[in-house]
Amino acid sequence: MFRPTGRRTRAPITAVAGLLAAVTLVLAPAGAAQATWVRDAEWWLDSYGFTEAWNVTQGEGVLVAVIDSGIADVPDLAGAVVGGADFSGVGSADGRTPVGVQLNHGTMVASVLAGRGTGNGILGTAPQAQLLSASIGFGGVSEISPDDQVAAALRWSVDQGATVINMSITRNTLDWPPSWDEAMLYAFEHDVVVVAASGNRANGTDEVGAPATMPGVLGVGGFDRNGDASWDASTQGITIGVAAPSEDLIGINRFGEPQNWAGSSGAAPIVSGLVALVRAAHPELDAANVIQRVLATATPVGSSPSPLYGYGRINAAAAVSADVPTVTENPMGSLEEWIRLNRRAEPTVAPTAHPTSTPAALPLGRLMWPPWGYFAERYAIPSLFVLAFGSLIALGITAVTRRVRGRRRDGRP
């Protein structure tokens, strides 16, 4: 099933009905807060190089699609959302009405990614990037298959011109449906960077789930305020590309209020904002090299890559400004090659080609005396059986004929 990549604390964790789930860990609302308090709570902005990177760019001109529960109209995102659509069939046409079982999820993801510093004062990691809201329904709220919703949302996001797509959701399975093959390839063919949350152990996800397992996707793991891999608010797997903060986070809920939260749902938009900064600072780079800059400038933790941190903890300032050698292939792998190896069709017998000057061999049934050939073809009786049966009858007739002739020659009746 799909899950938000998050959990509630001090409360039982229950499975979400349906296929998709967001990946968020949500705490109690923070209540009324001053803008300075909210800004001070965003510890990752200074600690991981974002405020320094903003001296170069704040993500101007980059369009990021957020495939989630929908982005509500809140003051902290004033002017940030420039388009939207609903794929659940139960939301509003503009994708701005939250749907599903975690109604705050999409708005909180968006605020961490592109909060404008207005309202409560939250600043996203790319505070000048523009957003698209693609709302999908978690938890069985829609009659449309969540897999189909996601595939359609991916294609729509690409068609609207998004160059970054954030997916703070997990399927809770390593695999994914073939419809995602086509939709994700469509994104990659249009040079889009897709960022996906790894999932959370607290939500019952022991290892990375799709879409973060898909080759070519930038999977994001999480760590706590001390820089240690988060146990509850992340997971592990070889498809994690980098790690970002996933605990002691703050976002804006659908009511426009600050809310504490945790989970790889929050780590993913932090990285999506970083990707937007790189795309704005280096518009000449293709998606593979944008991802390469994020990976190459990350701070390694132990052996690199690792199943907990990927290539390391993000470093936004270095990702925007450092000298990084270019690559010719996506460092997160090739989905096209994976499909070639793993989606092989059942072998079929191809028609045999014949030169036009040489007639093809006739079916065996047609080579026999016409009645046998007719029965073989008309009633689908195996030709060899018909031939054998016909031969026995012919031998019998021959034997009787010889016996009759012998009697006549001997003068016997």
Catalytic residues: 68, 105, 265
Percentages helix, strand, coil for the chain, rounded to the nearest 5? 35, 15, 50
Q: Which of 200, 226, 175 is nearest to 4 (CA)?
A: 200
Compute the radius of gyration of the chain from its Cα atoms: 32
- Could you write out the DSSP letters of every residue in 253-313? -TTS-EEEEESHHHHHHHHHHHHHHHHHH-TT--HHHHHHHHHHTSB--SSSSBTTTBT-B
**Cα separation of 154 and 214, whole Å?**
14
**Cα separation of 43 and 295, whole Å?**
21
Q: Which of 320, 319, 276 is nearest to 299 (CA)?
A: 319
Task: Look at phi and psi of residue 380 and say left if phi exceeds 0, alpha if psi is from -120 to 50, else beta.
Answer: left
| Cβ–Cβ < 8 Å for 241, 332 | yes
| Cβ–Cβ < 8 Å for 190, 183 | no
Angle between helices 178-189 and 146-159 (to 10 degrees): 10
Residues 6+ apart with CB under 8 A from 350: none
| Pairing mode, strands 218-223 and 240-245 | parallel
**Cα separation of 81 and 124, whole Å?**
13
**Cα separation of 349 and 259, whole Å?**
60
**Cα separation of 109 and 271, whole Å?**
11
